[in-house]
Chains A and B, each alone.
Chain A
Amino acid sequence: MTSAIQVHDVWKRFTRAGRTIDALQSISLTVEPQRFAAVLGPSGCGKSTLLNMVAGFDQPTSGQVLVNGAVIAGPSPTRGVVFQEPALFPWYTVLDNVTFGPKQQNRRAAEYIPLAEHYIEQVGLKGFAKHYPAELSGGMKQRVGLARVLIMQPEILLMDEPFGALDAQTRGLMQELLLTVWERLRQTVLFVTHDIEEALLLADTIHVMTARPGRVKRSLIVDFPRPRSLDLTASPEFNQIKRQIRDLIRDEAIRAEHAAPD
């Protein structure tokens, strides 16, 4: 079976003010269908660049990014992106934001309106369909950002630090919401974060990246049983692995001890 996402020896080089910067250096990773993969790394390690290439917003300088075995031509509703900033359309209500995707496919309102209401309810925003984004809190905006992607029933969900800008309380709620939704729908997920705990709580696999130039330092399998909840973060096993990843990020020397059992 083909991997859902294959990143093969990808390099990304930027030229800024005459200086050449390697954002990504020979990145390779695969995500199997219906698996939740996290890319964990410090700010500026190029993890968002990687996600943008899978989304089709950006192309690698060299190497290949394949989705279901095919080269990416551009952005597509089959690869739904949830951005770090909610990136909602401020001039549309919640309902119009969520129905924006179906409208592009010339689907009938009678079909997509009930569907939109369903997803709005799923993300816990029942009663907010007529609100504008400016009337919503940060967490609520991200819920809309999730709903407008879920309604497209994407094969792949790409999430670029979607909860990074939220307060700890809201972030926890959003993580649990994502777990519930994902454990039911089971899309392939590529989730970019700098938060070790978040990656451990959500993902099946974690790809730990180095600081610029970005390389994959280690890939780890996380095999906590599902369904998971925030309670998991309090368990000793969880915290042990969390410490290990922290050390892995901090110290190149101990990387060999924590190699992922490929």
Chain B
Amino acid sequence: MPARKTPRFLLLPVLLFIIWQGGTWLGWMPQGIVPSPEAVARAWYVWIVGASTHSLSPYSGTWVVATLNSTERVLEGFLVASAIAVPLGLMIGWNRRTAEYIDPTIQLFRPVPITAWIPFALAFFGIYNASAIFLVALGAFFPIVINATHGARNTDILLLRAARMLGAKPAVVLRSIVLPSALPAIFTGLRLGIGVSWTAVIISEMVAVKSGLGYALWDAYYVGRMDICVATMISFGLFGFLSDRLVLLIWRFAEPWRRHGAQH
């Protein structure tokens, strides 16, 4: 007989759903504040595919566009951050001179919360995409640069010595030894960075840019559409999860040697 595998991870979500559904049925949840699951599903459906009749509602058939707006900002900001933070972190971790010049400044800017940058971003970039991308990139930059630094700094000294002994020049050591051995730390940084990116995009869309899921979330709150708010929250959860999985998948491809396990 095949053993029945209990999907343990499902237990808690199902329980939470039952509380939510049951709570709204039994009227435990304050009316108009906590929408029922069906209300959310219905609103979300209309938001995605549009109402059957012609509608001027901002929550009719606009979900895909809002989602694309936010996703694009996350991707652009995250890619900009990665493109700068990964090489910079490697250099800081590997080269003492670079660390002396740059690391203290990074540590100085790091404690400034992303939210504190909003007025500056608005004044500088205006109410445009650039503001949002700047905030996303800035938020993602710090976890990526710090982890890349850490990864490069922890490169096994024996591997560095072996490479130099075999005649590798500094650029080769950086690319062929420091980079691959820092990959686990780099990808830890990228996973943290993509998480921060979603947070940053919500904040910037609430305040700085008038489009995207973050804008929908804040606007829905103002007009009392809590069903849309909840649908947006679930959307964010879904995309956050998917983008994290995507980073993990890229990690697997970036380290083909890890798929050849230690069989001995």
The residues of A with any CB-CB pair to B shorter than 8 Å are 55-57, 74-77, 79-81, 83, 85, 87-92, 100-101, 104-105, 131-132, 134-137, 148-149, 152
Cα–Cα, bound, A122→B167 (Å): 23
A-B pairs, 10 with minimum CB distance? A101-B166, A104-B167, A87-B158, A91-B180, A75-B165, A134-B262, A132-B260, A75-B164, A87-B162, A77-B167
Q: Contact partner of B264 among A75, A101, A137, CB < 8 A? A: A137
User: Quick check: which of B168-176, B191-199, B219-227 contacts chain A, the rest being far away?
Assistant: B168-176
Checking A56, A85, A91 against B255 with a beta-carbon cut-off of 8 angstroms, the contacting residue is A91
Looking across the interface, which residue of chain A has its beta carbon closest to that of B263? A135
Question: Which residues from B are CB-within-8-Å of A105?
Answer: 167
Complex Cα distance, B264 from A80, in Å, reads 27
- Does B233 make an interface contact (CB < 8 A)? no
**Nearest Cβ distance between residue B203 and chain A, in whole angstroms?**
38
B159 adjacent to A100 (CB under 8 Å): no
Q: Give residues 121-164 of B contacting A (CB, 8 Å).
A: 156, 158-159, 161-164
The reply to whether B261 and A134 contact each other, CB–CB distance below 8 Å, is yes
A53 to chain B, nearest CB (A): 13
CB–CB A87/B167 < 8 A: no
Q: Are B158 and A77 in contact (CB under 8 A)?
A: no
Contact at B165–A135, with CB atoms within 8 Å?
no
Instruction: A91 to B257: give the CA distance in the assembly, Å.
Output: 5
B77 to nearest A CB, angstroms? 30
Report the minimal beta-carbon distance from A239 to chain B, rounded to whole angstroms. Answer: 34
Return chain A residues, CB-CB under 8 Å to B260.
131-132, 134-135
**Cβ contacts under 8 Å, A83 to chain B:** 158, 161-162
State A80–B172 Cα separation when bound (angstroms): 18
Question: What residues of chain B lie closer than 8 Å to A101, measured between beta carbons?
Answer: 166-167
Task: Please name all residues of chain A whose beta carbon is closer than 8 Å to the beta carbon of B167 when the two chains form the complex.
Answer: 76-77, 101, 104-105, 152
Q: How far does the alpha carbon of A203 sit from the alpha carbon of B261 in the complex, in Å?
A: 38
- Select the residue from B168, B255, B257, B262 with max chain A CB neighbours within 10 A: B257
Q: Which residues of A contact B262 (CB under 8 A)?
A: 134-135
Q: Which residues of chain A have C-beta atoms less than 8 A from B168's C-beta?
A: 100, 104
Return the chain B residue nearest A137 by Cβ.
Answer: B264
CB distance from A95 to the nearest CB of B (A): 13
Cβ of B177 within 8 Å of any chain A Cβ, yes or no, is yes
Whole-angstrom distance between the alpha carbons of A136 and B264 in the complex?
A: 6
- With a cutoff of 8 Å between Cβ atoms, the chain A residues found around residue B161 in the complex are 55, 57, 75, 81, 83, 87
List A contacts of B180 (CB < 8 A): 89-91
Complex: A104 Cα to B171 Cα, angstroms: 11
Task: Name the A residues within 8 Å of B163 (CB-CB).
Answer: 89, 100
Interface residues on B, range: 20 to 34
B256 to chain A: closest residue by CB: A91
Q: Is B264 a contact partner of A79 (Cβ separation < 8 A)?
A: no
Residues of B close to A152: CB separation below 8 A: 166-167
Chain B minimum-CB-distance residue to A133: B257
Most chain A CB within 10 A, of B162, B176, B180, B262, is at B162
CA distance in complex: A132, B161 (Å): 20
Contact of B158 among A85, A134, A135 (CB under 8 A): A85
In the complex, A47 Cα to B165 Cα: how many Å?
A: 19
A-B contact pairs, 25 of them (CB 8 A): A56-B165, A57-B161, A75-B165, A76-B167, A77-B167, A79-B165, A81-B161, A81-B165, A83-B158, A87-B159, A88-B162, A89-B163, A89-B177, A89-B180, A90-B180, A90-B181, A91-B181, A104-B169, A134-B257, A134-B260, A135-B261, A135-B262, A148-B166, A152-B166, A152-B167
CA distance A85 to B172 in the complex (A): 22
**Chain A: minimal CB distance from B264 (Å):** 5
Chain A residue with the shortest CB-CB distance to B169: A104
Which residues from chain A contact B162 at a C-beta distance below 8 Å?
Answer: 81, 83, 87-89
- Chain B positions within 8 Å of A81 at CB level: 161-162, 165
CA distance A76 to B167 in the complex (A): 6
Residues of A within 8 A of B255 (CB): 91
Contact residues of B between 233 and 261, Cβ < 8 Å to A: 255, 257, 260-261
Contact B166 A100 (CB under 8 A): yes
Interface set, chain B 28-54, CB cutoff 8 A to A: none
Chain B: minimal CB distance from A67 (Å): 13
In Å, the complex CA distance between A77 and B167 comes to: 6
Provide the bound-state CA to CA distance between A105 and B168, in Å. Answer: 9
In the complex the two chains form, what is the Cα distance from A84 to B177 in whole Å?
19
Q: Given A132-B260, A134-B257, A134-B261, check contact A89 B169 (CB 8 Å).
A: no
- Given A85-B158, A87-B162, A135-B260, output 18 extra A-B contacts at Cβ < 8 Å: A55-B161, A56-B165, A57-B161, A57-B164, A75-B164, A75-B165, A79-B165, A83-B158, A83-B161, A89-B176, A90-B257, A91-B181, A131-B260, A132-B257, A135-B261, A135-B263, A137-B264, A152-B166
